Amino acid sequence: MQVNKEVCIGCGTCVGVCPVEAISLVDGKADINQETCIHCGTCAGVCPVNAIEE
């Protein structure tokens, strides 16, 4: 999964729902750890601004 950092508003919603804790906020934007992400899509489903895509 990838975050469009121009769109992300840094709300942190995705950080809280990721089942493998692969997402953190870095400089106010979501940052996905590509090593641990399992591509479940949960974060993309909850992002209020659709900043996350496969």
Binding residues for ligand SF4, per CB under 6 A? 3, 8-14, 30, 47, 49, 51-52
From the CB of 35, what's the least distance to ligand SF4, in Å? 18
From the CB of 9, what's the least distance to ligand SF4, in Å? 4
Nearby residues of 35 by Cβ (< 8 Å), 6 or more positions away: none
From the CB of 48, what's the least distance to ligand SF4, in Å? 6
Nearby residues of 13 by Cβ (< 8 Å), 6 or more positions away: 46, 47, 48
